[in-house]
Structure 1
Amino acid sequence: MADPVVTADEMRAAEEAAIASGTSVEELMHRAGEGAAEWIWRLCGGRAVTVLCGPGNNGGDGYVIARHLRQRGASVSVVAPLAPDTDAARAARADWGDSVSESWDEAGGEVFVDALFGTGLSRGLSPEHQQLLHRLANRHVNSVAIDLPSGVSSDDGALFDDIPSYDLTVALGALKPAHVLLPAAPHLSMVRCVDIGLGDIHYRAETLDRPQIAAPKSDAHKYSRGLALVVGGAMPGASLLAARAAQGAGAGFVQLASNEAGAVPHDIVQIDGELEHALSDERIDAALIGPGLGRDQDASHRLQRSLAAGIPLVIDGDALRIITPAATRFEREWDDSILTPHEGELASLEENGGLEKRGSKLDRARRVADTYGTIVIAKGPDTIIASPDGHCVCAPRSPSWLSVAGSGDVLAGIAVARRATSEDGDAFDAACEAVWLHAEAGRIAGASFAAGELANCVRAALERCL
């Protein structure tokens, strides 16, 4: 099941609603600490634990964690450089009922628990606290962050400080954007969430789950399974790569509109001549333009013809450098199409759309989706799928081996196939399916593959969703 990804304000509102309905802050803290202690106990396996507690409620969670681990039989030391400054944290420290050190003397401890500062931090740590944090992390075998590592901005994943890496991060109540966004996410090896009983949480982002894809119906034929057209350009290799990926992603018929001479596989139908002729086939369910398109006058012409054809589009690569919001605002609904920018292309879309580059990747993807009226796959190590209505899906971290030339062409090919095969015409679902299949193909391909090998693994990825 997908998990919500909530901002600090959304989490604060959920906590306030729970408190207004009769749940005390102390009870929420008890649930958070007990749930986190369960995960830490699984990691520590009875080894000695050092808990670093801050002055706020995150530190209060740390005191509860320490108490529950001690009750289970673990040897626990608590370090608190600052005294509690909330009533709930003070009560939790009193319930701990054992000694607390203001500094660490490097005695004992194999598992370090960072409960210094969590969600809501808006500035960096003091030099003393940063030094203490790193010393604890470096001198323990394993490190655990409670809710978020200290020194991380919750809503955008920015790092206020140089932070250590953590073997386990226990998110309290719900995942936060920093758990899935760069630059924070790579520091978090394993993230687990504890339900603290907040009930319904209002959120606009969630995680990407494995899609459920149905096999073709018993009476299916090549056109009913989805006809995907790939519009070629100056560099035919990229469009061929996308076409191959589209075949593996389930399209029943893949055509390539290109006048470039070259070795085209026999199972991909090449249509040469005027692009208008290729686009006029009413059986086309979706088209892809951008991979290998180029940026010259002919490229602009091919993009304009594709936009005017009234066909659901996947727009990738070079096409993203020259498209404008005005070009996507024809007399039709454009949220049936998908843009697939990487970071540089996302910045071009912002510039062409008169948008300021600010906020988290979630914020930026939402603004581009709203401005262009399309679904946006803001791809990269922290891929975001955004809808014009503000709904976002955050993909889990994919294999870093996907950082290879042509990987984006493969993703675009998967996306046009999933859009072409969509029975309900839902471009957002098609985009989510494409991102998941692309990452899974990377896992199947293993280490150090070329983009062609990645495209050949798409079919196996699709099998895992049936």
Structure 2
Amino acid sequence: MGAADKAAIAAGTPGVELMERAGLAVADAVTQRFDVQPVLVLCGPGNNGGDGYVVARLLKARGWPVSVRALGEPATPDAQAMRARWDGETLPLDGALGEALVIDALFGAGLSRALDGAAAHAAALLASRPETVVAIDTPSGLPGDTGQPLGPSFIAGLTVTFHARKPAHVLEPGRSRCGEIVVADIGLGATPSTLFENGPELWRARFPWPSASSHKHQRGRLIVVSGDAWSTGAARLSARAGLRIGAGLVTIYAREEALAANAAHLEAVMLKPYANDLELEQAADQADAAVIGPAAGVTETTLLNVLALARTGAALVLDADAITVFRDDPGELFSVLDRDDVLTPHQGEFERLFPGLLKAAPERITAARRAAAKAGAVVLLKGADTVIAAPDGRCAVNINGSPWLATAGSGDVLAGFIGGLVSQGMDSFEAACAAAWIHAEAAELHGPGLISEDLPGLAPTVLRRLYEER
């Protein structure tokens, strides 16, 4: 039983009442999405099974042909009460399951062992037709706190959960096994948490919109460090993204040999030269934020440039090569970071900077939190289930990830979005969250054929929507 359930019961809501509400939410979700057809409800011995008996009773009352198969006798008082209210036949769970719509009420999010026996056999039988499976809370065999199956597990086309999504609903591979996710309100009170679903409601109220009196010097000064002459495109992607997200002034700093390549492609983004790390430090001293790493090169120059930028007042956004260059001595990097800085590693870069941490953690949320605490900075762990963690323990999981972002340069754009928002004074954790969400929304606007050059130009449509909803 979750903390919210316990709090509701302690406040006077009977467990059977919560079970009735949960079953009603599942029955409503089913009738809203499916035509009347035979339904097979698979009930486990715990409270998840109790929810299943409620669903069976309510669907039968609405005229649906319902049959129930049980893994065993109900083992909790609430589940026993709901079994007593079910007036139909209950058969053992064994053999073929037929072609019915299946309600998976065997085990919920609290399962901490692998499925076996009849439950594992049922999961195997249904694996090829997830569109006919509706899971209650989480698909059976999928632990709610990790999203990592411990063995065989059900795969659902629809999952109905209660109160809030659990890690299994947002972290892969669990997210892909849940299908459509419906979060039903069954009257559970708010519970304190530092783990959030990343969406506009998390940061919209503090998004840095300009006022009527704003001018470019007040809207943030962002610098981006270019790579060598043959590796300049990544920095331009970051710079253009920073400008599109609202930064008032964006400047690329490049070595002399890279000036011509950059100048041929820049318009509103400014370009300035620097000769060494000390000149870069002086140039960045008036900047609000700096992006370094995209195609910067894994070289001593990049390492010295990061350390130089860290000596300024600019908040840092470190991506790609600016992360990898510290793989031999991560502590050197951590010693110069602070809570306003942002690291944006993909899984490989994360492993270089935090060796063994992902493997040792039960899931990516814990890994990102531990990394943020160790680095003393915000960590955005990229992936289909991007996780953003702050050193103070706040953590958010992006739930609008887009497959169209699997293209070269998309991470450079994300770094620019983050830098642009941080330069405008947005809290770095919230800036990283907002940037990740806007990044994915922009990708979905385009869809097939997206390349990274498209992303900055798609951002204004997303921003317009956010502005109108503010």
Give the TM-score taking structure 2 as reference length.
0.90
Checking the alignment, whether the CA contact within 8 Å between 2:109 and 2:144 is kept in structure 1 is yes
Q: Deviations over 1:242-262 (max 9, x none)?
A: 112112111111100111241
Change (3 A) 1:69 1:356: closer
Amino acid at match of 1:280: Q
Query: Number of residues paired by the alignment?
Result: 451
Amino acid at match of 1:393: A
C-alpha separation in 2, matches of 1:218 and 1:17: 47
Q: Deviations over 1:280-319 (max 9, x none)?
A: 3554111111111111111111111111223111111111
Structure 2 residue 238 is the aligned partner of structure 1 residue 242: yes
Of 33-42 and 400-409, the range deviating more from structure 2: 33-42
C-alpha separation in 1, matches of 2:350 and 2:197: 21
Which of 189, 192, 197 is 1:202 aligned to?
192
C-alpha separation in 1, matches of 2:351 and 2:423: 28
C-alpha separation in 1, matches of 2:346 and 2:381: 6
Q: Deviations over 1:2-22 (max 9, x none)?
A: xxxxxxxxx633322332333
Q: Which residue of 1 aligns with 2:352?
A: 348
C-alpha separation in 1, matches of 2:391 and 2:130: 46
Aligned pairs (5 A) from 1:148-163: 148-163=138-153
Q: Which residue of 2 aligns with 1:256?
A: 252
SS in 2 for 1:377: strand
Change (3 A) 1:13 1:144: same
What stretches of structure 2 of length at least 5 have no aligned partner?
none
Change (3 A) 1:430 1:214: closer
Amino acid at match of 2:67: S
Give me the CA root mean square deviation: 2.2
C-alpha separation in 2, matches of 1:204 and 1:68: 36
Q: Deviations over 1:363-392 (max 9, x none)?
A: 011011111111111111001111111111
Which of 54, 63, 69 is 1:73 aligned to?
63
C-alpha separation in 2, matches of 1:113 and 1:218: 55
C-alpha separation in 1, matches of 2:117 and 2:85: 30
C-alpha separation in 2, matches of 1:392 and 1:325: 23
Change (3 A) 1:84 1:319: same
**Residue 138 of structure 1: CA displacement?**
4.5
Q: Deviations over 1:186-216 (max 9, x none)?
A: 1222111122322121322111122534542
Structure 2 residue 14 is the aligned partner of structure 1 residue 31: no
C-alpha separation in 1, matches of 2:191 and 2:149: 26
Change (3 A) 1:398 1:440: same
Aligned pairs (5 A) from 1:154-193: 154-193=144-183
Aligned pairs (5 A) from 1:168-317: 168-210=158-200, 212=204, 213=207, 215-234=209-228, 235-259=231-255, 260-261=258-259, 262=261, 263-274=264-275, 275-281=277-283, 282-317=285-320
C-alpha separation in 1, matches of 2:279 and 2:66: 74
Amino acid at match of 1:412: A
C-alpha separation in 2, matches of 1:355 and 1:164: 25
Q: Which residue of 1 aligns with 2:107?
A: 117
- Structure number with the bigger relative contact order (C-alpha 8 A, sep ≥ 6) is 1
Q: Deviations over 1:80-108 (max 9, x none)?
A: 13221222111111111210121366576
Checking the alignment, whether the CA contact within 8 Å between 2:198 and 2:398 is kept in structure 1 is yes
Give the TM-score taking structure 1 as reference length.
0.91
Structure 2 residue 418 is the aligned partner of structure 1 residue 394: no
Of 191-200 and 401-410, the range deviating more from structure 2: 191-200
Checking the alignment, whether the CA contact within 8 Å between 1:347 and 1:357 is kept in structure 2 is no
Checking the alignment, whether the CA contact within 8 Å between 1:110 and 1:141 is kept in structure 2 is no
Among all aligned residue pairs of Structure 1 and Structure 2, give the percentage whose two residues are the same amino acid: 37
Aligned pairs (5 A) from 1:323-362: 323=326, 324-330=330-336, 334-351=338-355, 357-362=360-365
